[in-house]
């Protein structure tokens, strides 16, 4: 790829891989040490060096316009780590383990759609379904010709594109019983019945209510959408893994709920328990 841009990263612990392959987003893949994927309609490959990151397929203007915000490069995660660990000291191990993780600023629609698909599902399957949707209904990204996996070079489908997809087709793509939810959610968003600009400006409880009004969106999905799609770092998604953690090794973790960076702490716990499954799997079973 012709374009190339290097940016020095002051947050030395920042990990591109841990951030992009982390269960908050289902679109990135790793090839030869580079993280490859599309956001905001642009395909990019990101390589981590000792002092910073190199973006292939992007220039400085792209970085400033898209990737700086998407990767949340301007936030002080060391400070956040201190704050959440102050609330629950037993977070120290998790916070250190996942210190390289940033909370991505994803497009709200992609977050909403992805996490509707995520319910009662597992991450590899979610990734597969999302890839199919992007391949079939997403527009080719800028720089798509360089993509090593074809789906990586497609934008996430617009609400309008998915509003034209039938329930049967969603089922054929492996969405299962979530197919009807996708039909409904796509229509509501495409029709303007759910307006992301309004959600952005709304107080958090109003924002929650608006998302919860969608069939197929419950408390956990709403928290994920607000955290990963709207930058509401106080939102605290509780999935089966987090629930088990709160019932066992992080019983004090509920004190985080409602605090300004609860969502970041949640991410630290999630990364930690997913990499130590033997301690948190149901009944100690293997997956």
- Residues near DNA (CB under 7 A): 22-24, 115, 118-126, 171, 174, 176-177, 214-222, 224, 237-242, 266-267, 270, 281-283, 285-287
Nearer to DNA, 50 or 283 (CB): 283
Q: Give the residue with the Cβ less far from DNA, 54 or 180.
A: 180
Residue 5 or residue 26: which is nearer to DNA going by CB? 26
Nearer to DNA, 96 or 177 (CB): 177
CB of 124 to DNA, least distance (A): 6
H-only helix segments in 22-100: 60-62, 68-70, 77-87, 92-97
Which active-site residues does the annotation give? 220
Residue 24 Cβ vs DNA, minimum distance, rounded to whole Å: 4
Give least dist CB 213 to DNA, A.
9
Smallest separation, CB 112 to DNA (Å): 11
Long-range (24+ apart) CB contacts under 8 A made by 174-183 are 174/125, 174/128, 174/129, 174/132, 175/117, 175/129, 176/121, 178/116, 178/117, 178/119, 178/121, 178/216, 180/215, 180/216, 181/116, 181/214, 181/215, 181/216, 181/217, 182/113, 182/116, 182/117, 182/216
Edge-first strand order for the sheet with 29-31 is: 4-8, 52-56, 42-48, 34-39, 29-31
């Amino acid at each position: 790829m012709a374009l190339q841009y290097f940016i020095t990263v002051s947050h030395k612990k920042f990990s591109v891989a841990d951030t992009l392959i982390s269960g908050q987003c289902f679109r990135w893949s790793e090839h030869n040490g580079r993280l490859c994927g599309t956001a905001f309609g642009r395909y990019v490959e990101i390589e981590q060096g000792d002092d910073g990151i190199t973006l292939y397929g992007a220039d400085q203007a792209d970085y400033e316009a898209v990737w700086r915000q998407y990767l949340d490069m301007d936030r002080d995660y060391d400070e956040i780590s201190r704050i959440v660990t102050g609330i629950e000291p037993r977070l120290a191990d998790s916070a250190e383990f996942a210190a390289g993780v940033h909370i991505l600023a994803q497009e709200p629609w992609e977050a909403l759609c992805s996490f509707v698909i995520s319910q009662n599902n597992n991450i590899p399957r979610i990734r597969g379904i999302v890839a199919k949707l992007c391949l079939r209904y997403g527009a080719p990204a800028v720089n798509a010709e360089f993509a090593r996996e074809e789906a990586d070079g497609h934008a996430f489908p617009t609400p309008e594109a998915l509003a034209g997809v039938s329930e049967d087709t969603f089922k054929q793509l492996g969405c299962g019983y979530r197919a009807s939810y996708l039909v409904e959610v796509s229509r509501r968003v495409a029709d303007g019945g759910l307006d992301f600009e309004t959600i952005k400006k709304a107080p958090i409880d109003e924002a929650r209510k608006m998302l919860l009004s969608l069939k197929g969106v419950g408390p956990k999905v709403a928290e994920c959408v607000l955290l990963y799609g709207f930058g509401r770092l106080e939102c605290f998604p509780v999935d089966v893994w987090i629930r088990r953690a709160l019932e066992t090794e992080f019983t004090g973790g509920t004190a985080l709920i409602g605090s300004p960076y609860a969502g970041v702490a949640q991410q630290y716990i999630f990364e930690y328990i997913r990499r130590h499954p033997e301690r948190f799997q149901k009944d100690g079973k293997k997956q």
